[in-house]
Amino acid sequence: MESVKTTINRRSFLKVSALAGGGMMLSFSWLAGCNPSAPEEVATLPKEWFELNSYIKIADNGLITLMAPNPEFGSNVKTSLPMMVAEELDIDWKDVMVEQADFFPERYDRQFTGGSLAMQMAWKPLRTAGATARHMLIAAAAQAWQVPAGEITTENGMLHHKGSSKKASYGEMASKAAGLEVPKEVPLKNVKDFKIIGNSKRNVEGVNIVTGKPLFTLDYKREGMLIAMIAFPPAFGLKVKSVDDGAVKAMPGIKDVFTIKTLADDYERNFFDTTSFTELVVVVGNTTWEVMNAKKALKVEWEKIADTTIALAGRGGSKQTVTIPAGLESTEGHLAKMAQMAKKPGKELRKDGDPEGVFKKATKVIERTYTAPFLAHNAMEPVNCFAHVTAEKAEIVAPIQAPEIISQTLVARLGLPKEKIHIKLARMGGGFGQRAYGHHLVEAAVISQKLNAPVKLVYTREDDMTYGIYRPTYTATYKAALDENNNMIAYQVKAGGIPESPLGFSQNRFPAGAVDNYLAEEWVINSNITIGAFRAPRSNFLGAVEQAFLDEVAQLAGKDPIEFRLELLERAKKSPVGKQNDYDPDRYAGVLKLVRDKSNWKGANKDVHRGVAAYFCHNTYVAEVVDLSIKENKPVVEKVFAAVDCGIVVNPDAAANMGEGAIIDGIGNALYGEMTFKDGVPQKNNFHNYRMIRHSEAPKSIEVHFVKNDKDPTGLGEPLFPPIFAALANAIYKATGKREYSQPFLQGKGPLV
């Protein structure tokens, strides 16, 4: 049994209990709750301690409420995280209620959903909160009954003393427990004793979702609320020159037309501030339809931007300047520039041995180049936000992944202190990284402040798709050398993109550490096209092309692709090269062996063509096998097998659902995903020309298998996404004899065979 520090004292506990309006409420830090060096005065919520806060509330009727501070956008953390609390509290799941907490800067230092980190970050803090509350309830009952605490047991929210036959509900002891000293250390359950964790629970929002209850900002209404839309520049590299709004202002229902500037020229942008359009034309009116029609009738003259240098705060507090170049960029130009850069030496990120020398003497050498386009997020819910800004405060309702980060921008732009900005976290209708960027909150707030009225900002689908925040366009060249025994003796990757490299955080991943001679280099090309996080950032390209390349290397070596990878992993385990390898060879090999067994790898039907890939990212190991057939010259994914090592699986059905969604999303993007540009203009603006996967194109069957172990849980939202690209590409090769070197595999191309 593991014991953990609670880092909360009685004085703090009583203060936060008072916030609950009675009953028992326990405050804890998700990130620092188990850190013995964290400050003890929880009630003051110092920023340096809290990053995410949450509360357990026990009502007098025994119901348990978890105030969940992290935003929900489909990953089901609103169900899975409370399961951790319920487990350690030892309560009946049917007695659990979950409420979405608003963002309160005076009480929360950081709230963020993304990076597949929710389960990993919450694992011990949430369990500690549950265990602490249970311990205090037992102590309260021991005092009331005058018996030793060690003789009291709990089950399903009830306290029992066998010797005296006394029992009480948690609700009956909640007020007494709230007055006790909070223990400095509490034991956590052994994994073998879990009753809730590891057993599937339905989505706590399921009924509300299927019955259409208001959950999203688009559902939100306020008396006197106006509708706002923005006329964005039609091309990246343009800005507003002049506006002719005379006819538009006279249209029915239109209240005003004006320009806004969302960011000051000298503002140092943070990591999630966008770098594109900051001077915008706004149309405001009574209804969405009236404003949409007025926006179409608006006459705006645009002009080209000049080269601009902005200050940007990078990750980890680093400071940098970024040049946003002038010009109207096109896809053809991007490809030409990337091809030129790929021929030049890049920035060296890692070097083992003498790869250059080994390549010259190798028996066999293979070199391949891969490219991938910009991608739009295309979440089901277009960008939107409600704002009501007055001289005293700003009230925001928005789908946002990172409210803490965008609140800093709001403070700077609105001139209001942080404690006067209140953000209500609406459920997000998807995001895939897009909602980490809060430009829509700033835009809505500035519009409301100017009008001194409540405003709902609404993007059309065309606005959403052409505004930016794209997955960057990438290219990578891989090179491998084999000796006379077909062992891989050298490996090289040079990767770059516009305007970001995919390699920066991956140079120490497999097959680094498994080959004596290794070189990783990168480069970047600046652009005025705005990019941002996209499901499994960087890995969504690098994992895909790396695994496609390794498949081809295995073929050159005359080896089975799974066995080839396992050989490399065995080398990384027994004689690792370098000391910075960031993967566990045993766990990596474990998912490959599991998917090999579950798919009956060598026993497939002769009409089915198979591809395999495996990748490690976001602290999770994944291997996938795609079974594919060709019908009417098109690929049909018959079945996908996935093996996942993410540690303990808290909510199995929800975890499998996440995996299935990532697999389908990956197949769709691999086959069709593509945003192109001509003279700065996005060439696709809605689903009629931005091809998405159809229901009929989803795999006929998906099996997600989890490695069973007692390791702390890691993420699932992203890790199954990158390898499916490569598994699909490798299966297509088996079916057609043609390798895929550029994404998407189908869009704009002829038949596969």
598 in a structural domain: yes
Over range 532-540, report the average pLDDT: 94
Do 163 and 239 fall into the same domain? Answer: no
Do 180 and 49 fall into the same domain? Answer: yes
Q: How confident is the model at residue 8 (pLDDT cuts 50, 70, 90)?
A: low
631 in a structural domain: yes
747 in a structural domain: no
How do residues 40-70 score in pLDDT, each as one tens digit?
333 232 222 212 224 577 777 777 776 666 7
Cα Dmax for the chain: 85
pLDDT of residue 113: 67
**DSSP per-residue string spanning 165-233:** TEEEEHHHHHHHHHTSPPPSEEEE--GGG-SSTTS----TTHHHHHTT-S-SGGG---TT-EEEEEE--
d(CA 167, CA 242): 76
Asked if pLDDT for residue 131 goes beyond 80, the answer is yes
d(CA 740, CA 726): 9
Asked if pLDDT for residue 15 goes beyond 80, the answer is no
328 in a structural domain: no
Amino acid at 498: I
d(CA 389, CA 414): 9
Asked if pLDDT for residue 19 goes beyond 60, the answer is no
**DSSP per-residue string spanning 82-110:** HHHHHHHHT--GGGEEEEEPPB-TTT-S-
Do 449 and 494 fall into the same domain? Answer: no
Q: Report cis status (omega within 30 of 0) of the bond before 399.
A: no
pLDDT of residue 201: 92
For residue 99, the cross-strand partners are: 67
What rounded mean pLDDT belongs to the chain?
88
Do residues 245 and 257 make contact, with C-beta atoms less than 8 angstroms apart? yes
Do 551 and 609 fall into the same domain? Answer: yes
pLDDT of residue 752: 54
Q: How confident is the model at residue 7 (pLDDT cuts 50, 70, 90)?
A: low
Q: How confident is the model at residue 125 (pLDDT cuts 50, 70, 90)?
A: confident
Last residue of a domain, one of 158, 181, 197: 197
Using alpha carbons, list the distances in angstroms from residue 82 to 3, 19, 78, 134: 20, 20, 7, 15
pLDDT of residue 316: 59
Do 105 and 50 fall into the same domain? Answer: yes
Query: Residue 447: which domain range?
Result: 222-308+377-466
Do 369 and 517 fall into the same domain? Answer: yes
Do 370 and 385 fall into the same domain? Answer: no
Do residues 499 and 529 make contact, with C-beta atoms less than 8 angstroms apart? yes
102 in a structural domain: yes
Decide the pairing of beta strands 634-645 and 517-524: unpaired
Do 52 and 88 fall into the same domain? Answer: yes
Q: Out of 264-273, 541-550, 582-591, pick the least confident.
A: 264-273
Q: Helices in 397-452 by DSSP H: which ranges?
A: 403-414, 439-451
CATH number of the CATH domain containing 103 = 3.30.365.10
Do 458 and 496 fall into the same domain? Answer: no
Asked if pLDDT for residue 330 goes beyond 80, the answer is yes
Using alpha carbons, list the distances in angstroms from residue 693 to 216, 279, 516, 661, 721: 25, 35, 41, 12, 15
Over range 677-703, report the average pLDDT: 96
Q: Count CB atoms within 10 A of the CB of residue 193.
A: 11
Over range 74-101, report the average pLDDT: 85
Q: Out of 31-35, 263-267, 671-675, pick the least confident.
A: 31-35
Per-residue burial over 252-277, b = 16 or more CB atoms within 10 Å of its CB, e = otherwise: ebbbbbeebebbeeeeebbbbbbbbb
pLDDT of residue 472: 97
pLDDT of residue 748: 63
Q: At residue 710, what are phi and psi to the nearest 5 degrees?
A: -105, 20
d(CA 651, CA 716): 11
Could you tell me the sign of the dihedral formed by the alpha carbons of 169, 172, 174, 179, in that order? negative
How do residues 331-344 score in pLDDT, each as one tens digit?
999 999 999 999 99
Do residues 541 and 505 make contact, with C-beta atoms less than 8 angstroms apart? no
Asked whether the whole model's pTM tops 0.85, one would answer: yes
Last residue of a domain, one of 420, 435, 466: 466
65 in a structural domain: yes
Give me the percent of the chain exceeding a pLDDT of 70: 89
Q: Out of 69-73, 145-149, 151-155, 401-405, pick the least confident.
A: 69-73
Do residues 324 and 526 make contact, with C-beta atoms less than 8 angstroms apart? yes
Residue 710: both structure tokens together: 């007692």
Mean pLDDT: which of 78-92, 414-428, 483-497 is highest?
483-497
How do residues 183-216 score in pLDDT, each as one tens digit?
889 999 999 999 999 999 998 888 888 888 888 9
pLDDT of residue 1: 66
Total number of domains constituting the chain: 3
pLDDT of residue 53: 27
Q: How confident is the model at residue 657 (pLDDT cuts 50, 70, 90)?
A: very high
